[in-house]
Homo-oligomer: A and B are copies of this chain.
Amino acid sequence: MESQDLKKAGLKATLPRLKILKFLEASQVRHMSAEDVYKAMLENGDEVGLATIYRVLTQFEAAGLVTRHHFDEGHSMFELNQGSHHDHILCVKCGRVDEFMDPVIEEQQHKIAEAKGYEMTDHALYIYGICPNCRKSGKK
């Protein structure tokens, strides 16, 4: 029962919030913009106002249900928090997104923050490149 998840997160269990949460859980695509969610839900017959999508995703982020990424400038990408923390490697040709987690990098980041006197709160790491498929097909 997803309404329990929302209550636990301190959010009233409204129909739009339930629909959005269900949609994210059912989606095959793990990383989506607000607009992506809006359009995909429309096609599913679940119409929720775009402003509400933005509001709810921001609330989900604050509640720790989703994570916001900035793969490229222009728009935020959202991802339901299911697995554990990971970073992303992105194809600059086709937009494919893969995930990875590197304990060495994670640890180095903390060391760097410490060396600079910072109290680290977050980090973002994006590797850009050409994915295996695009390399094969020689897209330009």
Most buried by B among A104, A108, A126, A131: A108
Contacts of A91 in B (CB 8 A): 118
Pick the contact of A100: B112, B121, B122 (CB < 8 A): B112
> How many identical subunits does the complex contain?
2
Number of interface residues of A (CB under 8 A): 35
Asked whether, in the complex, the Cβ of B89 is within 8 Å of the Cβ of A118, the reply is yes
Asked whether, in the complex, the Cβ of B127 is within 8 Å of the Cβ of A113, the reply is yes
Asked whether, in the complex, the Cβ of B102 is within 8 Å of the Cβ of A112, the reply is yes
Does A135 make an interface contact (CB < 8 A)?
yes
* Nearest residue, chain B, Cβ from A118: B129
A positions within 8 Å CB-CB of B:
70, 72-73, 76, 89, 91-92, 98, 100, 102, 104-105, 108-109, 112-113, 115-132, 135
